[in-house]
Structure 1
Amino acid sequence: MNANAISKEPLYRQAKAHLLQRVCAGEWGESEMLPSEWDLAAELGVSQGTARKALAELVADGVLLRLQGKGTFVAPLPGDWGGGAVVMPGVFGGPADVLVREFLGVSRLSAGEEVASALLLRRGAPLFRVRLLWRHQGLPVATDEILLSAERFDDLDARALRARSASLHELLLRRYGVRVHVHAEQFRVEHLPREEAALLSVEPGRAALSVLSLSGPLMGDAVLWRQRYCLTDALAYTVMP
């Protein structure tokens, strides 16, 4: 850190921001152990207590995890399916079936009352709308509509989304320093809207599983609203422990 910089932020928050920047830059990879509190304190020019508090907040945010007697590690990044996956019905404990993501596009729209309330935005606030299609063995099985604040994530664009083979969650961490986790999910059977039915190559109005979720930092407000429609004729949507 720059010891000469004048900041109104508490020192531990400056240390936290500096460590988060280094994680986002990939200095420590996923599941890699960080240096000890003593070493980090010396690097940052702060006390061990300040370094410990900065690390504790990053653990609370889900960026890091602590393993008793081993150390502090970069927490694994959640994928686009969070704790969910699709598997063959009746199969438990095995690996999830591999789904291939197809990026369809990103556009802008204004927040309606429901989404604005969920994301704590004003009604009419600008949103990015990201569209994804998921294929299983070449066949379309799920669609995603993802909404997030265009003001908070102001330079999100199709090029960044299309260029990355990793999850949207990783992009939010690497570019914006925001590590998201699923806060809540709602499951229900709905009739497919016309747009989703066309993408999934089925007739409009067909019944499908709807998974509505809100995601954000572990200790913060939701920043991402996701509506997923999933065909479960041959596959089962499974929530992994």
Structure 2
Amino acid sequence: MFLLDTPVSLAYDLVTGLAEVLRPVTGGLAAAAAIIVFTAAVRLLMVPLAVSAARGERTRARLLPRVQALQKKHRRDPERLRRETAALYEAEGATPLAGCLPMVVQVPFFMVMYRLFVSASVGGHQNLLLAHTLLGAPLGQTWVGLLGGGLLAPPSLVFLGLFALLAAVAVWTSRQVTADGPMGTAARVVPFGTVVFAAFVPLAAGLYLLASGLWTAVERAVLHRRIAAPAV
């Protein structure tokens, strides 16, 4: 926990500062808008990783026939298949896991956002961000924690709207996946996990998931057209 204290304090200062800047335009939605801007800034820093992942996707698509040939040739020798496949990717300067890097790098930022909205105090001072709401739903509250007030209570409806948006983004993202096999299946299913996950984390963390997921969908659409699509 101690290792997260400094990043959480920095994130607190950044989000509260952004909220003050955005308040004249967004009013009571300033804190929620600040979370979205914070998420966009994080994803902007990761654009080089996304570009690298898109290039890796194109390389993997180009190598797919050769990988399938190896699978057919060494189907009775899994260890030989593993070595030959690894050697092929190494020779081409590619890795099957390159596309996962942007998602993995995001984890610490998400954890900071999570901690920011479950901590009563930050840096020894009261966490004033917990007083902020989105359309009446506290940014530090979870949907599970609100169920006692009724499924159709206004704060719960805010979460249900969030879940619907997350599901729509997940559908869009899953339709962009072109990979086949187990990795392709996983890439199509994983985005829907955010809908379930968002029910158990603070609303602020759910907003982070939504903004990041939407960024991913748009980013993939652009990079697939410019980089990942096979040349003709």
TM-score if structure 1 supplies the norm length?
0.24
TM-score if structure 2 supplies the norm length?
0.25
The structure carrying a bigger strand percent of its residues is 1
The structure carrying a bigger helix percent of its residues is 2
